[in-house]
Chain A
Amino acid sequence: MPTTKASQEILGRLTATAEHALSTLRTLGVDHAEVSVGVGKELEVGVRSDEPELVKEAQSSGLSVRVMRNERVATSSTTDLSPDAVAAFLAGVVEMAEISEPDPMAAPPEPSALASGDALPDLDLFDPDTDGIDAAKALELAKAGERAAFAADERITTSEGASFSRSSGHSVLGTTGGFLGTRLGTYQSLVVQAVADDEGGKKRNGVFWTGGRFFEDLDDPASVGAEAARRAVRTLGASKMPTGQYPVVFDKDAARAIIGLVASCILGDAVYRKRSYLAERLGSQVAAAGVTVVDDPFVARGPGSRRFDGEGRPVSRREVIQGGVLSTFLLDTYSARKLELEPTGSASGGGGIPHSSTSNLYLRAGDVEPSALLEGIETGLYVNRMMGFGFDSVTGNFSRGAEGFLIENGKLTRPVGEITISRNLDEILGGIDRIANDLEHRTSVAAPSFRVDHMTIAGT
């Protein structure tokens, strides 16, 4: 993997710390340990009314471990990497395992199942220029975004501000099973929040953002600000719509939230803990035939991309739902054992209790333009924002607050707010009858816009 000299130095130092910690833990008599050591840098700035509101700059470091002794597990973490502190910390974790209880299922992966640290793919996740973005430049970017919002529409009366942040991280995961892998990555984003005044003292806010692993991939601040303004003013005068059953079109932000709920139900943890309505559905139809959901850790510059999982296993691309059929869960070692299935290399993090997790999970794009989703809808709802936590993964019951637009005769006619949309997720996935072609890998869970044949809307 091509890295800068500075990165190599950091990774070398972290590797030494990880190896030292592993050898200390062996001396302390553990049967297994995973150690993750990392350092990070971050800058966050905010502006409001063209003035700086926040400049925050920091560096952090951390060591986290999971140890097993006599089938008992303990985890802990510390930010103090000085040798004396690390020695005391590790002794404390091993002692902590004593109060745990033997759990044969918690055994680590066989060494033969681990990825080879030398043969890991380069996923292009680190922008060597990110750390060089200083506060002055960050403030300029944020100001440019906010100014564009005010310039775009005179109805923008105030702003919740604009912010730019960048972060970079280097880390090393090592296990007593013999795995040693390095990770590094950067991320930067610009957010603009514009506010317009509405009737009755209500305000309408519009939020838009751009972000990515590489600075060069970000949208320019002017377009971000203008879109934030557009999103605020288009909701002016929003009101309820009549209670009833209607077809619903989710824009890609709202669609992503729905796919995020699916993600929470296909994770091994949720399945073995009986917290998923999909628990007994492997191999059966769980969505409309056009629905394919993919988990892909290899997306170049992807926000959720990873070279290995949190236990040091190799990762791979999986079609979780294939043509509507549930083909696999995403499993770490523990959940796989509980379910008597093969692990999928989906363990999160490293050094803590591993959990099953997604990498880049997305709904595969369809082939129609987003506007085609509205065609043929006499009266319906276009949803672009949802609120609340109204989802029960055990039953699939879904009921959330929503905002968007009324669809009349295939066109968006007026803004709608203060309503709820409800239906069981199982039925929602079965009711997806059109998927658009506007998928973007801007977030680790992503989806194109799609249409659902009907949902219940509670309004007037």
Chain B
Amino acid sequence: MSEAHGKPKGGDASSVAAGEAPFITGPQSIDDTLIDRALCTALEHGGDFADLYFEYRRAASISMEDGRVRSVGGGIDLGVGVRVVHGTAVGYAFAESLEPEELLAAARTAARIATGGGAVEPVAVSRRPRSNLYPVKTEVVDVPGVDRVALLRRADAAARAADSRIMRVDASLVSVHKEILVCNSRGAVVHDVQPMARIGVSVVASGGERTESGSSGGGGRFGLEYFDKISPEDHGQEAARVALVNLDSRPAPAGVMPVVLAPGDSGILLHEAVGHGLEADFARKRTSNYTDRVGESVASELVTVIDDPAIEGSRGSINVDDEGEMPREQRLIEDGVLRGYMHDRISADHFDLSASGSGRRESFREVPLPRMTNTLMTAGEDDPEEIIQSVSKGVYAKKFSGGQVNISNGDFVFSLTEGYLIEDGKLTAPLKGVNLIGNGPEALATVSRVGHDYLLSDGMWTCGKDGQSVPVGVGMPTVKLDELTVGGTEA
């Protein structure tokens, strides 16, 4: 990934946290002998590959409603998943405990996928070092409760102070300390400590006959220092700003027109329009519209799309993937040409490639799948102001509540929560929430301008696939699509 994105390069092996998970330290810590025994059990009927995924998740959350703490919550989740891969078939079982007999029982259950084969010897395991993309001094989850409440109170107060039309404020802070230990039959044993924090503020504003809402959120694999950069007040004011803008919104147009995407959050378009379709399980099953299209043009030549797991502190970043692979930057589309897919172990073996470190899972209860980390479009050369000025009638899309894609035909939608009409090269009226729809390669072929203002979205996105949620990041410069369907009510 080029430095054009102004991204700090992370990594200082010395700053890796020691860890507190009971499989790392204390009487239940897992030694290499037990790992070896469990992997041998997993492969006792044969199979190509086996892995153990130990997970410890300590969470703390606070929700505040209208200035009062409604609830505090939190807890610890702990367990291990055992996977046996035999061709493209997966046997999976998990135990919600570290007891050796439960681990071995799970290994025996998972092993049943490969009946009839002879036992396979795993490679002797060795502990692998790694660098750290998210060195954190004070994890938010370890901040005393009263201080976490104080952060929300600041957000709440700032939202209320923004305008007398703000009639309700809700805020929440979720923080997680997650540790994983991934051990596989190819000899890897990797431990990682993955902190996460996310603040969210949502407000309702009322003016005249109308009631509208606005929200703001952010965070990532940061500690308390996140709030030095973007304060709780910033989020409170931003949520209020959006709600107030929407009080003046008017019905959006319907039909095909130019759309200018604001930098940052608009990266959700990439995530939906190209990202999911390039997850290699779909290419392996030949169910995605991007199947067999490596080397072909799938976008305007202005478009370069990257999946980058190594942005320091970003919500989608990972030091190691959930199969024990070291993630690498994936150049998905270069100058409009499809370069490759994101692979997990199974798809990499299928295509005879090395795994790209894209195997991720929601928890030890789930199998890993090829997933995105931080999906970005690189900066272009255009001036963002001039991009807007080039549109005589269209839509400027700024904030989104989410998106979705149909993998098979490539149609994607994303839902706009803050947008503006562009008339004669100027942003005019704010628009009511509206859905945008397009087809991945067809929409990206109409990209005619790319700004020099690349921006990483503040960490708030969660991606769902096959019922599994994982945190992801997106980023994008200002981009103009000549044609996209805007789903307003004004036909």
Q: Which residues from chain A sit less than 8 Å from chain B, CB to CB? A: 48, 51-58, 60-61, 73-80, 89, 96-101, 103, 106, 135, 157-161, 195, 198, 201-205, 235, 238, 240, 243-245, 273-275, 277, 352-353, 387-390, 392, 394-395, 397, 399-401, 403, 417-424, 456-460
> Known: A55-B92, A76-B75. Contact between A203 and B409, CB under 8 A?
yes
Look across to chain B and name the residue whose beta carbon is closest to the beta carbon of A135.
B112
Given A204-B409, A388-B415, A73:B486 Cβ within 8 A: no
On whether the beta carbons of B89 and A54 are closer than 8 Å, the reply is yes
Residues on B with beta carbons closer than 8 Å to the beta carbon of A420 = 254, 413, 435-437, 485-487
Whether A392 contacts B489 by the Cβ 8 Å rule is no
- CA of A397 to CA of B78, assembled, Å: 42
A-B contact pairs, 5 of them (CB 8 A): A99-B62, A273-B170, A353-B70, A422-B489, A458-B487
User: B74, A456: Cβ atoms under 8 Å?
Assistant: no
Minimal beta-carbon separation of B427 from chain A (angstroms)? 20
**Chain B, residue nearest A276 (CB):** B211
Q: A54-B89, A99-B145, A401-B404 are in contact. Are A390 and B291 (CB under 8 A)?
A: no
Q: Is the CB of B406 within 8 A of A387?
A: yes
Q: Verify if B133 is at the interface (C-beta below 8 Å from A).
A: no
Question: Which residues of A lie under 8 Å from residue B78 when comparing CB positions?
Answer: 79-80
A394 and B75 form a contact (CB under 8 A): no
| B residues in contact with A459, CB < 8 Å | 255, 485
List 9 other contacts, CB 8 Å, given A54-B92, A273-B168: A60-B365, A96-B73, A202-B289, A203-B289, A274-B211, A395-B433, A397-B432, A399-B488, A418-B439
Q: Report the bound CA distance from A17 to B29 in whole Å.
A: 28
The 7 closest A-B pairs by CB, nearest first: A420-B487, A99-B145, A388-B413, A390-B435, A203-B408, A458-B254, A401-B413
CB of A88, distance to nearest CB on chain B (Å): 10
Among B435-465, those with CB < 8 Å from A are 435-439, 441
When the two chains form their complex, are residues B408 and A243 in contact, meaning their CB atoms are under 8 A apart? no
Given contacts A53-B90, A389-B404, contact A458 B75 (CB under 8 A): no
Assuming the contacts A390-B434, A395-B211, A459-B485, asked whether A58 and B365 have C-beta atoms less than 8 A apart, the reply is yes
CB distance from A373 to the nearest CB of B (A): 22
A311 CB → nearest B CB, Å: 15
Smallest Cβ distance from A161 to chain B, in angstroms? 7
Instruction: Choose among B65, B93, B403, B411 the residue that contacts A418 (Cβ–Cβ < 8 A).
Output: B411
Contact check, A418 vs B437: say whether CB atoms are below 8 A apart.
yes
Complex Cα distance, B432 from A12, in Å, reads: 55
Separation in Å of the A137 CB from the closest CB of chain B?
14
**Inter-subunit contact A51/B88 (CB<8 Å):** yes
Inter-chain contact A456/B490, CB cutoff 8 Å: yes
Q: What B residues does A99 contact at CB under 8 A?
A: 62, 69, 72, 144-146, 148-149
Inter-chain contact A389/B415, CB cutoff 8 Å: yes
Tell me which residues from 107 to 130 in chain B have a Cβ below 8 Å from any Cβ of chain A. 109, 112-113
Bound form: Cα–Cα A73–B91 in Å? 41
Q: Nearest A residue to B272 by beta-carbon distance?
A: A388
Which stretch of B6-14, B34-42, B280-288 is in the interface? B280-288
Chain B residues whose C-beta falls within 8 Å of the C-beta of A273 in the assembled complex: 65, 168, 170, 204
B489–A388 touching, CB < 8 Å: no
- Decide: B411 and A96 in contact? CB cutoff 8 A: no
Q: Which chain A residues lie closer than 8 Å to B413 at the CB level? A: 387-388, 390, 400-401, 420
Q: Residue of B at shortest CB range from A235?
A: B409
Tell whether B53 is near chain A: CB-to-CB under 8 Å. Answer: no
Most chain B CB inside 10 Å of its own CB: which residue of A60, A89, A394, A459: A394
The answer to whether A53 and B88 touch across the interface, beta carbons within 8 angstroms, is yes
Contact of B89 among A52, A158, A198 (CB under 8 A): A52
Instruction: Tell me the complex Cα distance, A157–B287, Å.
Output: 9
Q: Is the CB of A195 within 8 A of B287?
A: yes
The reply on B256 being an interface residue by CB < 8 A is: yes
Q: Are A80 and B97 in contact (CB under 8 A)?
A: yes
Q: Once the chains are docked, how many angstroms separate the CA of A420 from the CA of B204?
A: 27
- Quote the shortest CB–CB distance from A402 to chain B (angstroms): 9
Give every chain A residue within 8 A of B417 (Cβ-Cβ): 392
Q: In this complex, what residue of A is CB-closest to B84?
A: A55
B68 contacts chain A at the CB level, 8 A cutoff: yes
A392 vs B401: C-alpha distance in the bound complex, in angstroms? 10
- Bound complex: CA A392 to CA B204 (Å): 12
Q: How far is the CA of A274 from the CA of B73 in the complex (A)?
A: 24
Q: How far is the CA of A96 from the CA of B76 in the complex (A)?
A: 13
Chain A residues whose CB sits within 8 angstroms of the CB of B145 once the complex forms: 96, 98-99
- Do residues B491 and A245 form an inter-chain contact, with CB atoms below 8 A? yes
Query: In the assembly, what is the distance between CA of A401 and CA of B405, in Å?
Result: 10
Complex alpha-carbon distance, A423 and B489, angstroms: 6
The interface residues of chain A lying within 8 Å CB-to-CB of B90 are: 53-56
Give chain A residues whose Cβ lies under 8 Å from the Cβ of B255.
243, 458-460
Give Cα distance in the complex from A347 to B113, angstroms.
41
Is B293's CB within 8 Å of the partner chain A? Answer: yes
B293 touches A79 (CB 8 A): no
In the assembled complex, the CB of A46 is this many whole angstroms from the nearest CB of chain B, namely 8
Chain A residues near B89 (CB-CB < 8 A): 51-55
Q: How far is the CB of B262 from chain A (nearest CB, A)?
A: 18
Complex: A84 Cα to B454 Cα, angstroms: 53
In the complex, whether B300 has a CB less than 8 A from a CB of chain A is no
Chain A hits for B168, CB < 8 A = 273-274
Contacts of B436 in A (CB 8 A): 420
With contact pairs A58-B365, A202-B289 given, residues A387 and B211 touching in the complex (Cβ less than 8 Å): no
Taking a contact as CB atoms closer than 8 A, the residue among B146, B148, B170, B437 that contacts A419 in the complex is: B437
Instruction: Kindly identify, within residues 256 to 287 of chain B, every residue whose CB is under 8 Å from any CB belonging to chain A.
Output: 256, 285-287
Q: Which residues of B sit under 8 angstroms from A158, Cβ to Cβ? A: 285-287
Q: Which of B62, B213, B285 contacts A392 (CB 8 A)?
A: B213
The answer to whether A399 touches B487 (Cβ under 8 A) is yes
B91 contacts across to A, CB distance below 8 A: 54-56
CB neighbours (8 Å) of B248 from chain A are none
Indicate the member of A51, A98, A235, A275 with the most B CB atoms within 10 Å: A275
Kindly identify, within residues 184 to 232 of chain B, every residue whose CB is under 8 Å from any CB belonging to chain A. 204, 210-213
Binary interface profile of B, 378-416, with partner A (CB < 8 Å = 1, else 0)?
A: 000000000000000000000001111011111111110
In the complex, chain A residues whose CB is within 8 Å of the CB of B158: none
Q: Provide the bound-state CA to CA distance between A238 and B408, in Å.
A: 13
- Is the Cβ of B256 less than 8 Å from the Cβ of A422? no
Asked whether B470 is an interface residue with its Cβ less than 8 Å from the other chain, the reply is no
Give A400 to B65 CA distance when docked, in angstroms. Answer: 30
Q: What residues of B have a CB within 8 angstroms of the CB of A424 in the complex?
A: 489
- Separation of A60 and B366 alpha carbons in the complex (Å): 13
**How far, in whole Å, are A167 and B57 apart by their CA atoms in the complex?**
25
Asked whether any CB of chain A lies closer than 8 Å to the CB of B79, the reply is yes
B79 contacts A73, C-beta separation under 8 Å: no
Task: Determine whether B367 belongs to the interface, using a CB cutoff of 8 Å to chain A.
Answer: yes
Contacts of A57 in B (CB 8 A): 92-93, 109
B76 near A457: Cβ-Cβ < 8 Å: no
Known: A73-B71, A100-B69. A392 touches B490 (CB 8 A): no
B72 touches A243 (CB 8 A): no
Nearest Cβ in chain B — how far from A47, in angstroms?
9
Across the interface, A96 reaches (CB within 8 A) one of B70, B72, B87, B441, namely B72
Does B32 sit at the interface, judged by CB under 8 A? no
In the assembly, what is the distance between CA of A159 and CA of B73, in Å? 42
- Is there contact, CB below 8 Å, between B69 and A400? no
Q: Are A201 and B167 in contact (CB under 8 A)?
A: no
Q: Which of B96, B109, B403, B409 contacts A198 (CB 8 A)?
A: B409
Contact partner, A400, options B367, B407, B435, Cβ 8 Å: B435
Complex Cα–Cα for A387 and B210 (A) = 27
Distance in Å from the Cβ of A91 to the closest Cβ of chain B?
A: 13
CB <8 Å contact, A202 and B408: yes
Given contacts A203-B288, A203-B289, A394-B211, contact A79 B254 (CB under 8 A): no
CA distance A146 to B467 in the complex (A): 21
| Given A99-B72, A204-B409, A244-B491, also A55-B287 (CB < 8 A) | no
Assess whether B77 is interfacial by the CB under 8 Å rule: yes
B341: Cβ under 8 A from any A Cβ: no
